[in-house]
A and B are shown apart, each in its own frame.
Chain A
Amino acid sequence: MSPLPSLSGQAAIIGVGQTPFTRGTDCSTLELHLQAALEAIKDAGLTPADIDGVMPNELAGTIAEDFILNLGLPALAFSSTIRTGGASFVSAIQSAALAVAGGVAKNVLLVAGRRGYSAQRVSLTSEGAIAPHPVMRHMDEFERPFGNTVASQWFAQAARRHMHEFGTTSEDFGRIAVAIRGHANLNPRALMFEKTMTLEQHQASAFIADPLRLFDCSLETDGATAIVISSVERARDAKKVGVPILGVGEGHGSPPTSITQKRDFTRIEGLEVAGERAYAMAGLGPDDMDAAQIYDGFSWIVLASLEALGFCPRGEGGAFVRDGRISLGGALPVNTSGGLLSEGHCSGANLVSEAVRQLRREVEAERQIADCERIIVTGEGDFHEGAALILGRSA
């Protein structure tokens, strides 16, 4: 029996669309999704009738039927929704690439983004801010009634344990937040474009869930991002530079229903596995990456993700971010758009759009990573679930 063909290089991202990131909107979540979708389809050089696959995002609550109705999709052949919270969007790219490579669909539309400010605002309440998910049943019975109600509190305990075991500090988290803010200050799309941040300001920001401060937490924004995935052959016909999927992987930690029940909750084990799979598929390693767009729901997740992806040994994430290495101009620029911490929280989809734009050389000159050829993008969701994606650039 001959080995199965690798998924590497078979599918590509050929279109990107995005609404502005705002605090406040007159649009419904679905309307934001439709705006982003139409822009992505146009960017891909397609019309809605060409879309035969749709992957709605779990966190937004939209369904394939919404897109059939509003975009008038005549021949949908594939639809699926991944349920790993913030890892869903990157995991969905794996499924979309499989659908395209397997000939089930030709052009798959992925859309994500919430009204994180106008509707699903987690800073105001834990009740109903995000639709109930089946994966929360253990949290609802054994943690929420004991005051462990929101993500900042769950991840704070992981960050605290990391500090205890490895000597990581709040300043280390601050250096991540400040570096990423610096990138947002170069990105007119970023909600924090005009607001600078110093390490002193980070250290003066209020604790939300100690050790996580306000500036360690991602933004609450309204907005949506969409992409179109097609075969690499179709990407060659598109007007824009193709962005092939060189490697992709997902990983699920265990137990997957609570961070506190994991034997070692300082490790994002789902992302470790996802990263290994993506590297193996691409035949590449961490040293081959020109930049990383890392899911940054909280600053600590970036630090632990750098360890999980092998950019530094376990426990050395704090040292890794200390000398400007993750800023533009450093050895591994991280979250060059401003990420979820400073551009907007689009369920991680804006990390993918940023990677595509960097590889297409479409971003502002001062933000463009010179000659970048390969970028790794991650998702982290629920309780240390992970997804990793390695994007390249067609010759």
Chain B
Amino acid sequence: MSEIDSESNESPAVLRPEVPRTELSQGFWDAIEKGELAFQRCAACQRLRHYPQPLCPECHSGESDWQTVEGLGRIYSYTVAHRAFHPAWTDHVPYVIATIELDCGVRMVCDLLDVDPDTIEIDQRVQARFQELPGQGVMPRFEVID
């Protein structure tokens, strides 16, 4: 469990698109609220999966639980967005959108707003942190650690 950062430089006036949480993904978001990353794990074959879905695509078991993992990983790929297509990012361009590959193998997407885009490279190590964002509750964030 990590500390949750309640300070944010994001404007409460222009909110990010709302997360349409579902019953299926509740375990993921509940963990985020506690400052943890947890992914769906097949109860039969132990395979981790993300994004949440009813059946394991390997063994087709419908039973799953939530496995907490370390928030360490690397940048698998990224883009530097020079244009915002949603007002929540207008004041942040250019900003980095990264695909993070966690050490457990699961991938997540996250915007990195507090970095110089010119310093970002594929394979850089990153660590998860947790931040309360306006209108969103706690959201997973990532920071470069090398």
Contact A261:B107 (CB < 8 A) given known A145-B18, A153-B97: yes
What residue in chain B is nearest A266 (Cβ atoms)?
B77
What residue in chain B is nearest A161 (Cβ atoms)?
B77
Least distance between B32 CB and chain A CB atoms (Å): 11
Chain A CB within 8 A of B82 CB:
yes
Q: How far is the CA of A254 from the CA of B49 in the complex (A)?
A: 13
Chain B CB within 8 A of A149 CB:
yes
The residues of B that contact A150 with a CB separation of less than 8 Å are 85
What residue in chain B is nearest A258 (Cβ atoms)?
B51
Interface SS of B by simple majority: mixed
- A146 and B109 contact, CB distance less than 8 A: yes
Partner pick for A125 among B25, B86, B97, CB 8 A cutoff: B86
The residues of A that contact B107 with a CB separation of less than 8 Å are 260-261
Least distance between A327 CB and chain B CB atoms (Å): 29
Q: How far is the CA of A258 from the CA of B51 in the complex (A)?
A: 9
- A142 and B51 contact, CB distance less than 8 A: yes
- A161 and B83 contact, CB distance less than 8 A: no
Chain B CB within 8 A of A322 CB:
no
Q: How far is the CA of A37 from the CA of B136 in the complex (A)?
A: 46
Q: How far is the CA of A74 from the CA of B113 in the complex (A)?
A: 58
- B25 and A141 contact, CB distance less than 8 A: yes
Least distance between B56 CB and chain A CB atoms (Å): 13
Chain B CB within 8 A of A133 CB:
no
Within 8 A of B (CB), among A160-202: 160-161, 164
- A160 and B51 contact, CB distance less than 8 A: no
- A158 and B77 contact, CB distance less than 8 A: yes
The residues of B that contact A122 with a CB separation of less than 8 Å are 85
Within 8 A of B (CB), among A125-155: 125-127, 137-138, 140-150, 153
Contact A143:B85 (CB < 8 A) given known A160-B122, A161-B76, A258-B51: no
What residue in chain B is nearest A159 (Cβ atoms)?
B79
- A141 and B109 contact, CB distance less than 8 A: no
Max chain B C-beta neighbours (<10 A), residue from A147, A157, A260? A147
Least distance between A164 CB and chain B CB atoms (Å): 5
Total A-B pairs, Cβ < 8 A: 108
The residues of A that contact B78 with a CB separation of less than 8 Å are 157, 160
Q: How far is the CA of A141 from the CA of B109 in the complex (A)?
A: 11
Count B interface residues, CB 8 Å: 37
Chain B CB within 8 A of A118 CB:
no
Least distance between B13 CB and chain A CB atoms (Å): 16
What residue in chain A is nearest B24 (Cβ atoms)?
A141
Within 8 A of A (CB), among B82-131: 82-83, 85-86, 88-89, 92, 94-95, 97, 99, 107-111, 117, 122
Chain A CB within 8 A of B139 CB:
yes
What residue in chain B is nearest A127 (Cβ atoms)?
B86
- B85 and A145 contact, CB distance less than 8 A: no
Q: How far is the CA of A137 from the CA of B24 in the complex (A)?
A: 12
The residues of A that contact B117 with a CB separation of less than 8 Å are 210
A-B contact list, 26 entries, CB within 8 Å: A123-B83, A138-B51, A142-B50, A142-B108, A145-B16, A145-B18, A145-B139, A147-B16, A148-B97, A148-B109, A149-B85, A153-B79, A156-B79, A157-B77, A157-B97, A157-B99, A160-B77, A161-B122, A206-B82, A207-B80, A208-B82, A209-B83, A210-B80, A257-B51, A260-B109, A261-B107
Q: Interface of A with B (CB < 8 Å)?
A: 122-123, 125-127, 137-138, 140-150, 153, 156-158, 160-161, 164, 206-212, 254-255, 257-258, 260-261, 265
Given A147-B89, A261-B107, 8 more pairs with CB closer than 8 A = A141-B25, A142-B50, A145-B16, A146-B97, A153-B79, A207-B82, A260-B107, A261-B50
